[in-house]
Structure formats: structure tokens, C-alpha cells
A and B are shown apart, each in its own frame.
Chain A
Amino acid sequence: MEKEYNHYDVIIIGGGVIGSAIARELSRYQVKVAVLEKEADVGWETSCRNSGVSHAGFNNKPGTLMAHLCVEGNRSQSQLCRELDVPYKKTGKLVVAQRAMEIPELYKLKEQGRQNGVKDLKIIGTSELKEMEPNVQGIAAMHSPNTGITSPYLLTIALAENALQNGVRFFLNNEVTSIKKGHGRFYLATDQKCFSATYVINSAGLYSDRISRLAGGERYRIYPCRGEYFILDKNASQLVNHLVYPVPQAGSGGLGVHITPTVDGNILLGPSNEYIKKKNHPASTAKVMKKLISESRDFLPLISSRDVIRSYAGIRSKQAPSSEGGYRDFVIEESSHVNHLINLIGIESPGLTAAQPIAKRVVAILNKKEKLKDNPAFTPLRKGILRFEEQDSATKKALIEQDPNYGEIICRCEKVTKKEILQAINNPLGAKDLISIKYRSRAMMGRCQGGYCLTRIIELLREKYEMLPQEITLKGRQSYLLTGYRSEGIKQS
């Protein structure tokens, strides 16, 4: 290991949506920033594994940071997504009551929303509900027109790429193993490199408790709470237009199994809500899989398990243990034990919505201590990969003329062209795993799950990076896809 310390003004530990948003906000100033991420790409742990909802902010207790930052984040979401070229749809949300006894809960939610500053909440009756969502069963609902959806992975990637554009360095595959403080500096080691920093920002999500302890800070504890999802075939996408939620159960640390139409035109069912022991166990379980279908059917009887194309799970980083239930407010503050260590603890839902306001708050803490100078070269604008499939035919024609690779469709289900896959492979962060390509291009996300395009993408990856077959991974570390060439026989161990 090289013992040469690369010095940064600020080191951000954790490249999730929060770390990436902080990186981007800091890049507005003349500050030397690095992000250390243990995985092979940004966002893999929790940020990419949720419903992708921009919450309006009526679920959170008035007066909390959660409520305040969520409302603020929701208001600026469409501008943020515009700047970063990330899809955002203000679909609106319906919290649906199935029984008369749930109706008072709707009014409570509405009142809570009013206190939080959420606009345009409205209670609607059966007939209006039927009009808005003919397939949904319920007797009344609260309609929230400002709730929206985005792509959680594209948003995280975009924040990171924009930060990179503006001078932030990203070190992927760098898991922090030690943090020491001396001479007014932090000395950090990862499994790859050594760094030093004036400030350390702990946005390590599920592992933020560990990072705080490593740095000598407060002894927080994060309880992992798993949420499982199903993804439905696009054939089922006409079933709903809005996000459809049940009335939240008192004391539950989740919002209940809901139906989320995604920006890509799939429907998500989930998430479940289950405290687990291990933080690194985003697994689906037979029990919950059954429940997801049956609970969604309470609202949407037309849902069929035949439409399921994939399942996944994400893990919430909760401060409230299972015995306590519910939510504890976000912690976003400088450690009282360790100067210049800024902790972000318990950033669970609505963390995705609140990412930018959270980041601004962190910058405000820094700005109080150091007078930050504007970065005159900062640009808030970032361009994503143009989705060929979403263009009109004149544009499509022009694109193929411009670059024939637009004429070659590699992922048949999602109609992703070779051009887009090459752009995903050549991504600015340099992530080169299959999942990275998948998140960036949508290839392999359709109903055949890579049956047609996987082998083609492997070839394109190898062409670009001159990798050996066994060096290609699904998601970093030991997730190798192939053991080698066939002619060599099996890998020698």
C-alpha cells in the first residue's frame, strides 16, 4: 500500500445519493473534495434500491428535519432533475383507505401535511377515486398532486457525474479501514490508498455508525431494515397512473406495501418492512414475495404474479430499533467529540427526496467554519445518455445518420442501442461492471433480463477495457461472471 497521503480539504465517505449530492454542492466552491466509495460504483447500497419517490412531505412529524428537508427537496426536485438531465414525473400520489376506520387517518395525514407546508392535499371520495384510478379499490383517498417519481440510480449517478465535472475526485472500490486524527488533520486509509483531509463527512449510510466510531465520534447505532420489491412487466403499466399507498400503520417504520409506477414504465410492488441482523443481506424471501402480491391485490386486484419480471431488496438505515418502531429524525451535524467530522446518521426515507437540501445543510455547516469561495467554473448542468427509444422518429433518423450505432438495438426489450451502451461503458466515473451499465442504459432491465443482450454487452466491455473474461464482474469484488475461456478448461484454483 502506498503510504503517500493525498490531501483533500474535504473527504466524503460514502457515494450514495447523499454523498454524491454533498459532493455536487461542495463543487460550487473552491474546495478540494474526494469521495471514497467502497463499492465499484455510486449508489449501490441503499440509494439505488428504493421506490424512487419524491415525497411531498406529509408523512413526517412536524418540526423535524425529515419533514422540513423533504418538503424543500420535493419543491426543488423538478429543477434538480432538469439540471442533471434525470427523468422526473409528477405523477401524484393517492393514500387509499380501504375501510371507514381508516378515513380519520387520511385527515390526520392531511393536517400533518398542512403543518409541514405541503400544498394541495385533498381528500377524495369513492367516485373521484374511481375516476382517477379505475382499477384501484378503496372507499376514500388523500390525493397529493406534488408527489413525484424519479430514477434513484440515475439521480445518484447524475449528482456524482456533475460533481466530477466540477472537479470532485471519486475513488471507487475504496473501503475506509481506518481514520486517525493528528496535527489538525484526518488520516484515512482504505483497502487501496491513503488520504488526508481537513474535514471528513460521514455519509456512509448503513455503515455511518461504524465510520463515526472509526473516527472517534459518537457511538451511533444503525439498525438495518429490509424492504423487498417486485418489478412488474411493462405490459402491466396501464394498471395505475398514480403512486398508490395504503394508510400508514401507526408505529411502523415504513409506508406499507405500495404500488409505484416508475419513470421507465414498470410498476414496483413493495417494499416490505423487516428488521434484519446483517447489513449486507439485501435478499428476497419466499414469505415476503407472497405477501407483496397479496397485499398489493387488496388495492389492485388485477395484479398478477405472472407479470413479475424481477425482485430486489434494499436496506433502510434506521436509528430507531425495532422495539421503538417509527422514525428518528435525521442527524446532520458536526460531531461534538471530533472537530471537523460531520455526521449524517439515519438518512432513510425521505432521504432521496431530501438529498439536495441535506447537502446544502452540510455545506452551511462548513461555510460557518470556513469562508467558502465560489467556484467560478461551476456548472450545474449535466447531460445524461440520450434515450433513443424516447425520441420522435425524425430525431431517431437523424441520430442513426449521425452515428450508425444508434441503428443497432442491443437490448431488445428496452430498445437500447449500441450507442447508448457504449456511452454507458464509457461513463465518466469509470464504473465498468454490468450493473453499472444496466443502471445507466436500462439494458438487461426488461422482461428477458439480459437473455438477449448480456453476451453482447460482455463483448463490448471486453473490447473497451481489454479485460480477461474472468475480470468481468456483475457488481465488483468476487462477482465474476465467467471463469475464463472455454478452451482453457475450468479455472485452476
Chain B
Amino acid sequence: MIEKEVIVIGGGAAGLAAALACHERGVEDILIIERNTYLGGILNQCIHDGFGLEKFNSSLTGPEYAQRYIEKVTKKKIQVLLNTMVIELNENKNLLVTNHAGFHHYRGKVIILAMGCRERTRGAIAIPGTQPAGIYTAGVAQELINLRNYMVGEKIVILGSGDIGMIMARRLTLEGAEVLMVAEKLPYSSGLPRNINQCLYDFDIPLLLSHTVINVKGNSRLSEVTLAEIGKRGGIIPKSKRKIPCDTLLLSVGLIPENELSRQAGVILNPMTAGPEVDERGQTNVPGIFACGNVLQVHDIVDNVSLEAEYITEGVIDYLQGQTNRDQEISIILGNGLRYVVPQKIMIIKDTIFSFRVNEPGKKKTLVFKEWNKLIHKTFFPRVNPAEMLQVKLSREELEGVKTLKARLV
């Protein structure tokens, strides 16, 4: 059994930033465990730019963004185990990891969960039809093209307007494939407005809102998908069905935080985020287990992942220094108009950043925090969009003495 002050599970954007922030706050004994043969996680396959606008005030590619952190991790001599998979984690913060050298037992005073997320698949959304080759999630296609140098198809339909889907629409077009359309089941895009402009409109790729794929055909390779429009009540408009010959279907239909290990450790998950329920500094219900990045809540911008990872380390240090006394517990109640709010509770009163997503697009909306009828905080947003995670900061003064806090959008 090897003991560590802080063990970070996952060497992607969140894990790297969390490890570095812990180091900067004076923790020496840190271990990052990464299952891949390199650090940086999914950033490595995101070779488009637009990363780092907030953190570095410049537009970097994914690998460039990752490299800035990797260099620092190397320079600070933070210990990294590559090609190593954590296969067990328990509530005592014991880990069992495996790699070519064998089995190893670790124990961390603090565990930071930074495992990221995975893509929702065809199976999960139950698209009817046969099981041909040529149906990929957008991220797998991205890895095949950008990291492995393969081409996945020629005539492509993309289902779901998630950011990866739109980025892949542009990428495939640049590689000579014909991207016929991006279909989105909802009446609004699930991705960022800048991606709609830069990835679809600039390349004349139609975005069909309120459309979905209702069947796929082909016994060997995909030969056709059936597209249909969704009516106002959520049903399919029969007359709108049309058959689109194509050889590839990419799915960009959502990301799911990867919390298999968290579950093993008894971490309570939130049904809306699919990530752990956490307090004001990302601590889960298991003392000493923290979470940040996409394993906590799916982010749309990597800069926010890094910032969140850095932010939670304040709680990590408090925990390591034994400051676990709780002022009181404020539970956060989800009100109208909001899909979720993170954190779900507050244990220690201090300035706290709340992240949230709205249920549907809107203009001139105000996020209101109330304790019963007493207004605690409000922030105005000229426009809101479910595709964009929003954040507000509540000050220590605002939170002082509060017992319950209901957040809603008006």
C-alpha cells in the first residue's frame, strides 16, 4: 500500500489543473493516474482552435492547451502513472490500479475524481434499424481521424448538434467528405452558437432543428437513414419522413460523466448532472473525495474545466489541514427553469460559484436565489441557452445565516 496526500484519477484537462493547483497550494505528494499512454485526455484529439481564450487570452488548439499544463506538471515533477487503470476505489480512499508492472494498492488522503465523460451511444437512444458498420459517436470518429489518421466515410449524416458533432461536420468537410446535414431533435441547438456559425453555416451545412433519425438501413455498411421532423407535441410528423442515402452516421447526442469508480466508493450521484452531488468546493458525500471537470458536470468550454479544477483545490487544502468543521448545511433546491445547479449543498460559508444550466433558450432572464420569500441574490442574463453552462458567484455575506436556498429562473 502506497500512501499519497492527493491522488488525482484522470490526467485530462481537469486532472492536470487540479494537480497543479494542489501543488501551487503547497501539496508535494501528488499522484496523477492516467489510463492512456499520454496526458491531456480528450484535448489531444481536439485539434481545432478556440481553447484558452479565458485562461490564456489566446486561441489554442486542444493539444497546445494540454501542453501548457503537461509542461508544468513535468517541471514541478508531479508524479504521473501512465497506461494505468484504476479498477477499484472504495470509501476509505483505497485504490487498486493495474498496469504492465502489475497490481498496486494506493491510498490517498484526498482523492480527486477527474475521469471526464463518455459519449451517449446509439444503443442508449435506441435508434431502430439494422446494425451496420458506419455508425460512430462523434468523438470516436474524431479520434480515428485526428489521432489515428483514418477516414471514416464519404457521405455523412450527423445526428445531434452537440459541439463535437458540429466540429466533426467541419472536420469531415475539410477532409473531403460530404456532410449532408446535422439533425437536432430539439427545437434549438445543443451546441455553442459560435460552433453553429463556424462549423456549419460557414460550410453551408444545414442544421435541421426538430429533426431526428428514426431508422437506419444496411446489412453490411450503412446505406440509408430515415429522417423525420418532430412536431410540437414531440411526436413524429409522418409526412415529413424522408430517406437519405449515406454511408456514415455520426452521433453527437450527449455526454455522460463517467462515475463507475465514484459509485464503487459510495459517492452519491445527482440524477440531473449524472455527476456526484458536491458541496461548495466539490467535495462529495464521502469525506476527502472531490470531483471536478466533466465527471462532475459536462462543460462546454475547457477553460471552465481548468478553472473549476483549480477552484475545488481550496477545499482540498482545507480538508488536508483538518478544517472539516461545518458551519451549517445549506441545501440548494432546484426551482423552475433550471436543469441543474452545482453545488447541491453548502457546508462551509464562503464565496461560492454556482454553475447551472437552463431548461430552454430565453432572453432577458434573471437567476434568483431565495430563502423562502427573502431574496438572497439575483443575476440578470440578456440571453440564456441550455448549451451554455452559466455561472454566478454568491458572496459569503449573502450566504451568511441562510438555511435553504432555492434557485430559479424568472
Contacts and interface: CB of A to CB of B under 8 A. Distances in A.
Nearest to A400: B102
A268 to B, nearest CB: 13
A91 B331 CA distance: 44
B335 interface: no
Contacts of A308: 123-124, 126
A145 interface: no
A207 to B, nearest CB: 15
A139 B150 CA distance: 57
A451 B154 contact: no
Contacts of B98: 396, 400, 407-409
Contact of B144 (A231, A404, A455): A455
A312 interface: yes
A449 interface: yes
Contacts of B153: 483
A448 B132 CA distance: 17
A455 B130 CA distance: 22
A431 to B, nearest CB: 16
A373 to B, nearest CB: 43
B121 A408 contact: no
A454 interface: yes
Interface string B183-218: 000000000000000000000000000000011000
Contacts of A404: 100-101
Interface stretch (A28-36, A129-137, A348-356, A484-492): A484-492
B354 interface: no
B71 interface: no
A400 B151 CA distance: 35
A489 B149 CA distance: 10
B151 A483 contact: yes
A483 B149 contact: no
A480 B148 CA distance: 16
Contacts of A450: 140
B43 interface: no
Contacts of A286: 128, 214-215
A474 B248 CA distance: 14
B126 A289 contact: yes
Interface stretch (A152-160, A255-263, A277-285, A327-335): A277-285
B121 A409 contact: no
Given A286-B214, A289-B128, A311 B123 contact: yes
A409 B86 CA distance: 10
Contacts of A482: 144, 150-152
A415 interface: yes
B395 interface: no
B58 interface: no
A208 to B, nearest CB: 20
A455 B143 contact: yes
A479 interface: yes
Given A482-B144, A483-B153, A486-B149, A400 B130 contact: no
Interface string A279-317: 011111110010000000000000001001111100000
Contacts of A396: 98, 103
Interface in B55-77: none
Contact of A483 (B143, B152, B215): B152
A452 interface: yes
B246 to A, nearest CB: 13
Given A483-B153, A490-B154, A451 B123 contact: no
B334 interface: no
B177 interface: yes
Q: Which of B96, B102, B122, B145 has the most CB of A within 10 A?
A: B102
B92 interface: no
A393 interface: yes
B151 A397 contact: no
A265 to B, nearest CB: 14
Contacts of B214: 286
Q: Looking at chain A, what size class is its interface with the partner chain?
A: 35 or more
Contact of B149 (A285, A474, A487): A487
A403 to B, nearest CB: 10
B133 A480 contact: yes
B323 interface: no
Given A231-B123, A311-B123, A451 B151 contact: no
Interface string B144-185: 110111111110000000000000000000011100000000
Contact of A448 (B118, B126, B130): B118
B129 interface: yes
Contact of A407 (B102, B118, B134, B175): B102
A473 interface: yes
A67 B176 CA distance: 59
A402 to B, nearest CB: 11
Given A412-B35, A482-B144, A487-B149, A474 B100 contact: no
A399 B35 CA distance: 19
A474 B133 contact: yes
Contact of A451 (B96, B139, B152): B139
A46 to B, nearest CB: 15
B151 A491 contact: yes
A92 interface: no
Contact of A408 (B99, B118, B128): B99
B123 A449 contact: yes
A374 interface: no
Q: Which of B121, B123, B137, B152 has the most CB of A within 10 A?
A: B123
A286 B132 CA distance: 17
B150 A484 contact: yes
Interface string A389-401: 0000100110011
Contacts of B151: 469, 482-486, 488-491
Contacts of A400: 98, 100-103
B226 to A, nearest CB: 10
A379 to B, nearest CB: 34
Contacts of A415: 87
Interface string A354-375: 0000000000000000000000
A3 interface: no
Contacts of A467: none
A393 B103 contact: yes
A193 interface: no
23 contacts: A283-B129, A286-B215, A309-B121, A393-B96, A396-B103, A400-B101, A409-B98, A413-B260, A449-B123, A451-B137, A473-B220, A474-B220, A477-B220, A478-B220, A480-B220, A481-B134, A482-B144, A483-B154, A486-B145, A489-B175, A490-B154, A490-B175, A490-B177
7 smallest beta-carbon distances between A and B, as pairs: A310-B123, A474-B133, A404-B100, A478-B220, A479-B220, A479-B133, A449-B121
Interface of B: 35, 83, 85, 87, 96, 98-103, 118-119, 121-124, 126, 128-134, 137, 139-140, 143-145, 147-154, 175-177, 214-215, 219-221, 260
